[in-house]
Chain A
């Protein structure tokens, strides 16, 4: 039969997938992946620690769910309250802060809600709600979504109405929606700078300290999931909090704009 050579070559391909370096699975947020920093860090991690870090790019909610199920060895996310709950439930041994970047508000270039004149993030959101301008929300339980909900709460305005569109998707898909609707949206700076379909959108608000976005590394608890690579997780944590990582993270820029600030504390 003519299928035999096809079967043989399929079998050969299959065997070819066997990996050489030690594989380490880490769930990371879409915002981290979209920043492009991973492409700088991963090759150096492989060279220094021998770890072939495989990234699962999901929202913070799904990242923590993968960690809780023991399907990844560690998570790198940015949602403090959810991280602490994750640790209290025994899913991780601890959290280690690595770096931060910040959130920005992006909106239509004509700025119908006059967000540009806001002095604080609260004022910015109040302006959007007052004008009932279209606002796209991630709506996917991600770190960015949690941050946005927290901001609405502290701004003291309701975000209910036809102008508020929860898309339930990742940062990129939400930005695509905002670009298509000419709507306001909360984005992390890295995703925005790397985003290829800006259309008529522009940055309308930045710089309020409440928009600070802390990333933390959480190794999955080996007491709960015996198969996780906790020794490798410790090696990766040492690397991520070390001088090589500091240099690469602080030196990373897109179009001359610095994105991340390394702030890991030595143990």
Chain B
């Protein structure tokens, strides 16, 4: 319990004094995870919608695979990405290993199935309501997907936020491909792992509290921008 109290007070101290190291790793955490979330939404939302409105052979199989991929162990994704981007690997010439870019790539692989699965579920429900209307309006397939994506935007925001939540708290993959290099690829979660390894539980917890606070802040901001949950609306 003493560690928890110490962690809270250290977290407050770090935030109030705008500790430069804290700001650096927090900014990189945000940059990597928001970057990965943006890419995952660009890929995952249309994919989820497309799966909801199309009927094809193996559809059930594809959806089951997508759902299963939600449980991908990050450290396995990290290793696969490492092997591909290692100098000895097929994309090694790009020299991307141990950079924020490859951390984004690893996180995109982890969270795209989550974004796509949640989007698929939400849009499938919406599609059941809209089916007759859109068909009678003779909307093209692209128009149908556009209408569903737009009208389902709240649920899709949840899909994006779920992806972001997994990304910002993820440590296994970015530790392997980023390397936790000070002033280069260190983010909040890898710093927490490092401090825990040093037995500095107070500092590790302080960073953990900052991470939780950050996650709440990002979610609140997006809800405000999206104007959800206002008093007069349901």
A residues in contact with B97, CB < 8 Å? 71
B35 and A10 contacting across the interface, CB-CB below 8 Å = yes
Interface mask (A1-33 → B, CB under 8 Å = 1, otherwise 0): 010001100100110010100010100001000
Q: Do A54 and B87 contact each other (CB < 8 Å), given the known contacts A17-B100, A30-B197, A34-B198?
A: no
Tell me the count of chain B residues lying within 8 A, CB to CB, of chain A: 29
Contact of B199 among A2, A13, A25, A179 (CB under 8 A): A179
Interface mask (B23-52 → A, CB under 8 Å = 1, otherwise 0): 000010001001100100000000000000
Q: How far is the CB of B184 from chain A (nearest CB, A)?
A: 5
Interface mask (B65-94 → A, CB under 8 Å = 1, otherwise 0): 000000000000000000000111100100
B88 and A69 contacting across the interface, CB-CB below 8 Å = yes
Interface mask (A100-112 → B, CB under 8 Å = 1, otherwise 0): 0000000000000
B residues in contact with A54, CB < 8 Å? 98, 179, 181-184
Determine chain A's interface SS by DSSP, over half rule: mixed
B200 and A196 contacting across the interface, CB-CB below 8 Å = yes
B95 (CB) vs chain A CBs: closest residue? A227
B180 on the interface (CB 8 Å rule)? yes
B41 (CB) vs chain A CBs: closest residue? A3
Q: Do A172 and B34 contact each other (CB < 8 Å), given the known contacts A17-B100, A55-B181, A56-B181?
A: no
Chain B residues 192-207 with CB under 8 Å of chain A are 194, 196-202
A171 and B87 contacting across the interface, CB-CB below 8 Å = no
A70 on the interface (CB 8 Å rule)? yes
A residues in contact with B196, CB < 8 Å? 172-173, 176
Chain A residues 226-266 with CB under 8 Å of chain B are 227
B58 on the interface (CB 8 Å rule)? no
B31 and A196 contacting across the interface, CB-CB below 8 Å = no
A212 on the interface (CB 8 Å rule)? no
Q: Do A227 and B201 contact each other (CB < 8 Å), given the known contacts A2-B225, A54-B182?
A: no
Q: How far is the CB of A57 from chain B (nearest CB, A)?
A: 7
Chain A residues 29-51 with CB under 8 Å of chain B are 30, 34
Q: Do A195 and B199 contact each other (CB < 8 Å), given the known contacts A69-B88, A70-B87?
A: yes
B residues in contact with A195, CB < 8 Å? 198-199
Contact of B27 among A13, A69, A179 (CB under 8 A): A13
Q: How far is the CB of A75 from chain B (nearest CB, A)?
A: 13
Q: Do A172 and B197 contact each other (CB < 8 Å), given the known contacts A10-B31, A14-B31?
A: yes
Q: How far is the CB of A256 from chain B (nearest CB, A)?
A: 20
Question: Whole-angstrom distance between the alpha carbons of A71 and B179 in the complex?
Answer: 11
Question: Whole-angstrom distance between the alpha carbons of A7 and B87 in the complex?
Answer: 31
Ranked nearest first, the 4 interchain pairs of A and B with the lowest CB-CB distance are A172-B197, A197-B199, A70-B87, A196-B199
A-B contact pairs, 20 of them (CB 8 A): A7-B38, A13-B31, A14-B100, A25-B98, A34-B197, A54-B179, A54-B181, A54-B184, A55-B182, A56-B179, A70-B92, A175-B199, A176-B196, A176-B199, A194-B198, A195-B198, A196-B200, A197-B199, A197-B201, A198-B199
